[in-house]
A and B are shown apart, each in its own frame.
Chain A
Amino acid sequence: MSELRPDTFRGRVAEGEVHLQFGAARDANTVDLQRDVVLPPLIALRLLSRLREAVRDAEQRAPIAPGDVVTQMGTTLLNAAPQEAGEQAALLFRLVDGLGAPYRHERSFRLAPGSLQSNRVLLSLGRSALGEDAAPRLAALAARLGLPAALAGSVAEHWSKARAVHFGFEADGARSRYKLYFERAAADEEARQAAAGTPVLLHLAWKWNPADPADCVTTHYHWLPRLDTAALRKRIERLYGDGAPLAAALAVLDLAVARIAPGKLQFLEVSEEGSPRLSFDVNLYDAGLAVRDAQGPLARLREHFAIRPGQYQALYDQVRALPLGHLAGGVHRDGAAFATLYYGVERRG
């Protein structure tokens, strides 16, 4: 057995295993790694216990200065500092996976003036998959994501009236938001009974910044059922005014209504308490379009919002073959126009 005498080390967890990496410091900033020991968590715990005993024994012979211990545990520069948004999104996935229920996974990208945001995901769970005891688990999950306490207390009440729940995440530069949507169970029946175009509350959503609980908004999604093409166009015109985003949205709408009756497109209007947000969201999945079918309108949106072509193309080429899901647009809470495309919903879990 060869003997290794490292003067530095680090421990990290990857893929559920504990990696102990040993090496020698070359200088203040560089470590030459010599061995990567991979342990299942149980063995790592046993090792920890044994190390404690060994250190205790060693200390009985000669004191170990705490300062030395800290120095030995210094970090290496091997990896870049993790991006916080990635860790936040990973937490959402881990918690939703932990519910043990199948869910739908959908990503989206948002175009706004000078900005393309694609680190956005929506995870949707139905009532039947979650079972009857879901309320406390959903409340605990939301609390773990930093949902303000004032809202966490009413999760059970909203869930009791919901047929599905949607957890979302989006990162916009340095700011992230988690989202929690309750999809009302009564909405289908209310829409059936309502006159065409009469708003029916479908989703109530909370969207919060985990780093700042005060930065939290409540969003309402009203379904306007059975709109014909003229009414759909008029609604979108009202929200977008004139210009390239309107033309692009109407072009995508035309693609959809060429394949499916307009009344079958679920059209929502979105508003937020205390913010200028006013927008639409139209569900296009049933039209059977792919993202690439909307290439022309999307290119016009890219140009209008002054997104760098290379950045946009890199993203577009990854998703062009996926089903086109929702188109959303209008005025965002910052007062600026935007367009969001949801795509490629898939079952997971």
Chain B
Amino acid sequence: MNRFVQDDYIELTVHFRCNLKCQHCMIEGTMDWLQPESEAQLAEILARNAEERLWKGLILTGSEVTLRDDLPDLARRVRASGFQHVRIQTHGVRLASESYCRELVEAGIDEYFVSVTAADAPTHDAITQVPGAFDRMMRGLENLDAMEGVTLLTNTVITRLSYRQLPAVVERLAHLRRLAQMEFWNYWPMKETDDKDLIASHLDVLPPLRAAIARARALGRGVAVKNFPECLLGEDHESLDNRQPKLHTDPAFWPEFMRNGFHQCVHRKYCASTQCLGLNTAYVKKFGWHADELVPYPIRVPA
């Protein structure tokens, strides 16, 4: 189950540059023309929260926010406007510096959502296409794990390159005391075809994903799975949480996002699931409809 209440958070894209080249990057082709939210928009959100206390947390996202040199200043402003939590979404490379971690924590960033693409350096570095990225990210997690008041979250994008390692990812991070939640986001290609051949069959992903969920739970972690058919998760279906905090981003992002074509399923018109994103266009083109594997949720009559 997700440990965090999505409605308590608001998400803001403040940066569209990155120094890794993750093969699964969902904004790879758009990073160069999407615009981060303006200073005026940021100021408006901060002022609004200062007055109305609408949200408990603000998530700074985009591409790699640690590339913004003013990140600590930004965090201080966010905290000053009444946010109890500041979260950054990061690949974690810069966190290898303990002093930088301390600077961020002292500035008020208390939640770190770190991308862990695989369980070992060769695979992670092959996915991120930057040698040394895994070791630096792991050092960053361990730096933060030693700091009071920090909460860690991780995200592992499920692709053909990573799915076999999902249980090993959980195991590799088992020593982290402040890791509250592990998320597993099943890859979507942001277009109608899987040009990069990264989508893995749900049937292949299912066993390692469920093993990872079970192990993460045994370690006391919260678990959130995104973009996987709810029915296929069986008794782990409560791990599926496709909700997201309200995202403020360049409106041009959404037409790109819609190209995924979510909510397609052979059973969609008579399935009671309210959480499921179904299949997407690229998935159906690659693996078909799984009509003989997906079992719709019956629409129950209240007792």
**A32 in contact with B255 (CB, 8 Å):** yes
Give Cα A148–Cα B301 distance, bound, in whole angstroms.
33
Give Cα A311–Cα B293 distance, bound, in whole angstroms.
7
Q: How many whole Å from A318's CB to the nearest CB in chain B?
A: 5
- Report A103-137 residues with CB < 8 Å from chain B CB: 105, 107, 109, 116-119
Task: Name A318's contact: one of B204, B232, B259 (CB within 8 Å).
Answer: B232
Sort chain B's interface into a size bin: 35 or more
Q: How many whole Å from A93's CB to the nearest CB in chain B?
A: 4
**Looking at the complex, which of B2-10, B34-42, B55-63, B265-273 is the stretch in contact with chain A?**
B265-273
**B203 in contact with A311 (CB, 8 Å):** yes
**Looking at the complex, which of A77-85, A191-199, A294-302 is the stretch in contact with chain B?**
A77-85
**B192 in contact with A89 (CB, 8 Å):** no
Q: How many whole Å from B26's CB to the nearest CB in chain A?
A: 16
**A-chain residues with CB within 8 Å of residue B298 when the two chains form the complex:** 105, 107, 344, 346, 348
- Report A293-349 residues with CB < 8 Å from chain B CB: 310-311, 313-315, 317-321, 344, 346-349
Task: Name B234's contact: one of A23, A30, A311, A317 (CB within 8 Å).
Answer: A317
**B300 in contact with A318 (CB, 8 Å):** no
**B234 in contact with A119 (CB, 8 Å):** no
Give Cα A93–Cα B261 distance, bound, in whole angstroms.
24
B284 on the A face (CB < 8 A): yes
**B203 in contact with A320 (CB, 8 Å):** no
A86 on the B face (CB < 8 A): yes
A-B CB pair tally, cutoff 8 Å: 105
Give Cα A34–Cα B252 distance, bound, in whole angstroms.
8
A102 on the B face (CB < 8 A): yes
B47 on the A face (CB < 8 A): no
A20 on the B face (CB < 8 A): no
Task: Name A78's contact: one of B206, B261, B266 (CB within 8 Å).
Answer: B261
Given A318-B232, A346-B300, A347-B301, A86-B255 contact (CB < 8 Å): no
A216 on the B face (CB < 8 A): no
B235 on the A face (CB < 8 A): yes
**A-chain residues with CB within 8 Å of residue B203 when the two chains form the complex:** 310-311, 314
Taken residue by residue from 276 to 303, chain B's Cβ proximity to chain A (1 for < 8 Å, 0 otherwise) reads as 0001010011000101110100111100
Taken residue by residue from 88 to 110, chain A's Cβ proximity to chain B (1 for < 8 Å, 0 otherwise) reads as 01100110000000100101010
Closest-by-CB residue of A relative to B231 is: A318
Closest-by-CB residue of B relative to A349 is: B301
**B234 in contact with A80 (CB, 8 Å):** no
Closest-by-CB residue of B relative to A346 is: B298
Closest-by-CB residue of B relative to A345 is: B298
Closest-by-CB residue of A relative to B289 is: A83
- Report B188-215 residues with CB < 8 Å from chain A CB: 191-192, 202-204, 206-207, 210
Task: Name A311's contact: one of B255, B269, B292, B299 (CB within 8 Å).
Answer: B292
**B256 in contact with A32 (CB, 8 Å):** yes
Give Cα A105–Cα B301 distance, bound, in whole angstroms.
11
**B291 in contact with A85 (CB, 8 Å):** yes
**B-chain residues with CB within 8 Å of residue A105 when the two chains form the complex:** 298
Task: Name A80's contact: one of B235, B256, B269, B284 (CB within 8 Å).
Answer: B284
- Max chain A C-beta neighbours (<10 A), residue from B255, B279, B292, B295: B292
Give Cα A240–Cα B207 distance, bound, in whole angstroms.
34
Q: How many whole Å from A122's CB to the nearest CB in chain B?
A: 12
**B-chain residues with CB within 8 Å of residue A247 when the two chains form the complex:** none
- Max chain A C-beta neighbours (<10 A), residue from B204, B210, B270, B284: B270
B258 on the A face (CB < 8 A): yes
**B-chain residues with CB within 8 Å of residue A250 when the two chains form the complex:** none
**A86 in contact with B269 (CB, 8 Å):** yes
Taken residue by residue from 237 to 266, chain B's Cβ proximity to chain A (1 for < 8 Å, 0 otherwise) reads as 000000000000000001110110100111
**A30 in contact with B192 (CB, 8 Å):** yes
**B255 in contact with A315 (CB, 8 Å):** no
**A-chain residues with CB within 8 Å of residue B265 when the two chains form the complex:** 86
Q: How many whole Å from B277's CB to the nearest CB in chain A?
A: 13
Give Cα A227–Cα B148 distance, bound, in whole angstroms.
71
A270 on the B face (CB < 8 A): no
Give Cα A266–Cα B200 distance, bound, in whole angstroms.
44
* 13 A-B pairs in the complex with CB atoms less than 8 angstroms apart: A23-B255, A30-B259, A32-B255, A33-B254, A77-B281, A80-B264, A119-B266, A311-B293, A314-B203, A317-B232, A317-B234, A317-B235, A318-B295
Task: Supply 10 further A-B pairs (C-beta < 8 A) apart from A78-B261, A83-B291, A89-B266.
Answer: A33-B259, A80-B281, A86-B267, A86-B268, A86-B269, A89-B267, A109-B292, A116-B292, A119-B292, A311-B203
